[in-house]
Amino acid sequence: MATFISLVSWTDQGVRDYQDTTARARAFAAAAEALGAKLREMYWTVGPYDMVVVVDAPDDETATAVLLQVSGVGNVRTVSMRAYDAAEMDAIIAKATG
């Protein structure tokens, strides 16, 4: 399972329609599910980013497709990072050290 953490900024269009943000979040969760991914967590934030989103997907390609799809609607821009849990990091370290 690939986990991505995205820092989300509203576009001008997205902030104009801020009152629809929770409905858009539900639509995003449904769209992610339709592509085989899962919205694990979503938080609205105050500061340089408007939201933080955690998505799980079966692979990097699916997670990327989900993020491209949501960005294509025009309400948000994302800065996304692949995240690893402790077990995944242990496997990466084992591979790196031979």
CATH number of residue 33's parent domain: 3.30.70.920
- pLDDT of 23-57, one tens digit each? 999 999 999 999 999 999 999 999 999 999 999 99
pTM confidence score? 0.91
pLDDT (tens digit per residue) in 60-91: 999 999 999 999 999 999 999 999 999 999 99
Cβ pair 1, 58 in contact under 8 A: yes
| Tokens 């592509």 -> residue | 35
How many domains in the chain?
1
How far apart (Å, rounded) are the C-alpha atoms in residues 16 and 83? 31
Backbone angles phi, psi at 24, to 5 degrees: -65, -35
Determine the structural domain holding residue 27 and report its residue range.
2-97
How far CA 74 is from CA of 2, 83, 92, 95, in Å, comes to 25, 25, 36, 40
